[in-house]
Amino acid sequence: MKSIIILCFLGICFSLNGQVAITEEPNISRLMNSYISQSRSSEYVQGWRIQLITTNDRRKMEAARSKCASLYPDLEAEWKHVSPYYQVQIGAYRTKLELQSFLLELKEDFPNAIPVMDKIRKVELLR
């Protein structure tokens, strides 16, 4: 009995010749086009970086930057001053999962390294 129903269903599906008409509401089309144009015009996306250190001592911040530069010369360590703290961050990742393996490696040299969300320029993600 089940096989007969399945065969009938398949017969109906194949008799449509693969022609399916999808009607999209004009408001939905307008919203999607607006979203696409805004996304293309935006220079930044929400992403992740690895924060090596947060300290209120500028010398410790500079020491962390120079240590990172000597251990990982291909990476650019950027620093921020968010009063009263100095923060050193590296990398640009779209998802947190992408940075996890490198974060484990970094923890050996920078035990306080943590993932942080940040606005990231799209061109940084393409490198």
Distance CA 4, CA 81 (A): 72
pLDDT tens for residues 57-67?
999 999 999 99
What is the domain range of residue 104?
Answer: 44-126
The structural domain count of the chain equals 1
Q: Which two tokens stand for residue 39?
A: 């996304």
Please tell me the predicted confidence (pLDDT) of residue 59: 96
Q: Is residue 61 part of a domain?
A: yes
Q: Is residue 118 part of a domain?
A: yes
Q: Is residue 3 part of a domain?
A: no
The one-letter amino acid code at 66 reads: S
Q: Are 88 and 52 in contact (CB under 8 A)?
A: yes
Q: Are 92 and 45 in contact (CB under 8 A)?
A: no
Quote the strand ranges of 22-125, DSSP E.
Answer: 44-55, 78-82, 85-93, 114-121
pLDDT tens for residues 5-23?
665 555 655 555 667 777 8
